[in-house]
Amino acid sequence: MVTIENIINKEDKMSVIGLGYVGMPIAVAFARGADVIGFDLNDSKIELYKLGIDPTKEVGDDAIKETAVQFTSDEKELRKAKFHIVAVPTPVNADHTPNLLPLEEASAILGRNLKKGSIVVFESTVYPGVTEEVCVPVLECKSGLKCGKDFKIGYSPERINPGDKVHRLETITKIVSGMDEETLETVAKVYELVVKAGVHRAKSIKVAEAAKVIENSQRDINIAFMNELSIIFNKMGIDTKAVLEAAGTKWNFLNFYPGLVGGHCIGVDPYYLTYKAEMLGYHSQIILSGRRINDDMGKYVAESCVKNLIATDKSVKGAKVAVFGFTFKENCPDTRNTKVIDIIKELKEYGISPIIVDPQADSDEAERLYNVKFVEIDEVREMDAIIIAVSHVNFLNLEVADLNRMYGKGKKILLDIKGLFSRKIYEEAGYKYWRL
């Protein structure tokens, strides 16, 4: 079986399957001391990497130009490696059930090219049992090899936070697991090559899978509570941010804020856990309740915009509204599973076709996935309302004078979802100011 010494001495190569926001940083990190094959089915993405361009913006163009990762979309190149890391997305279907197809396809590709003596580590977020019950049978079927005898498996959930330049692969404690003690130690030592924060050896693969899926479920529930408070306090005429700032002075108050919950983790992972629970006959109450609240927040924001238009005697149908930010989170180009689209869809139900500004977003992806096109911020004029949906750094320095130029006649409506600006300053400037 492949050993840490083989990898350090470059006698055996590593592979990373799936070069997105998670896989690319992993490949680049390991390539500083090991021979790494970076595989992705997306030919155009591979070509960009070969040109030294980082479309994810996770490690930057300079790091891509300097890395020794061997980029390829040819699956046969995987035969040259014996330590494999699978980092592909695990989305949900329209009915919120897990979509394991990307993981199954990645397992099939790897299985066709798997060598004896290999270790396969999965990083994709799944419900407990997927690695052993779904992925292993595919690997065995496609390779003709036997797990435990011809190859070993492990699981090490990704904890990378896209767009976060502080909490990186190297600085976050890595959970590792293996099918047996020998595999666990090898997997742990391999990750210790790049993770300065150290590793945590989970007792089993299922424990590691469960640990990952509850991390984001916990955050989802806490944010849902904040969103519910925001709805209640807005009805009371109380500023939610002011309430949270006051409550936050207590040492054990949890620092969460209301907002849109999208992306591929917090808005998705809870459904994996509740799906498995339902398979076992238990219907989640708290987790799914939180999901329902968070999934409805885009609609709530749009309805609040409409109510503010009515309150300021503006016509709703045909109102000119600009939405600033479209990605699922700040300072990140990723638009997949963004909840801003829910705001836009709901506004259209009221006869409003908003214009969208997002200098950070992947414009090609947004057009392909949502048929959405962006405008430059300089093109925003004669608006009735502006919705600041994402707190991109590009918007942080906007001042009253900058926004004034973007409005037309009548009361200026500003919906500051993330609370970027001062309520006092904008209300004194004559704005109708609203935030979660």
Residues recognised as catalytic: 265
Amino acid at 89: P
CA 266 to chain CA mean position, Å: 7
Q: Rounded to whole angstroms, how far apart are CA atoms 125 and 122?
A: 9
Q: Cα–chain-centroid distance for residue 43? A: 22
The Cα–Cα gap between 131 and 391 comes to 36
Measure the CA–CA gap between 207 and 203, rounded to whole angstroms.
6
- First and final CA of the chain: distance in angstroms? 54
Which single residue is written with the structure tokens 């750094």?
393
Asked whether 130 and 161 are in contact (CB, 8 A), the reply is no
CB 83 within 8 Å of CB 154: no
SS3 377: helix
The residue among 220, 201, 212 whose CA lies nearest residue 160 is: 212
Residue for token digits 């939405």?
A: 323
CB 32 within 8 A of CB 65: no
Q: Closest Cα to residue 325, out of 309, 292, 352, 301?
A: 301
Q: What type of residue is 271?
A: Y
DSSP conformation class of 390: S
Contacts of 327 (CB under 8 A, 6+ apart): 333, 334, 335, 338, 340, 358, 360, 361, 390, 392
Q: Are 61 and 53 in contact (CB under 8 A)?
A: yes
Question: Which among 29, 13, 27 is positioned nearest to 81, based on CA atoms?
Answer: 13
378: which 2 tokens?
Answer: 């300089």
Burial classification of residue 417, based on how many CB atoms lie within 10 Å of its CB (0-12 exposed, 13-18 middle, 19 or more buried): buried
The residue type at 79 = R
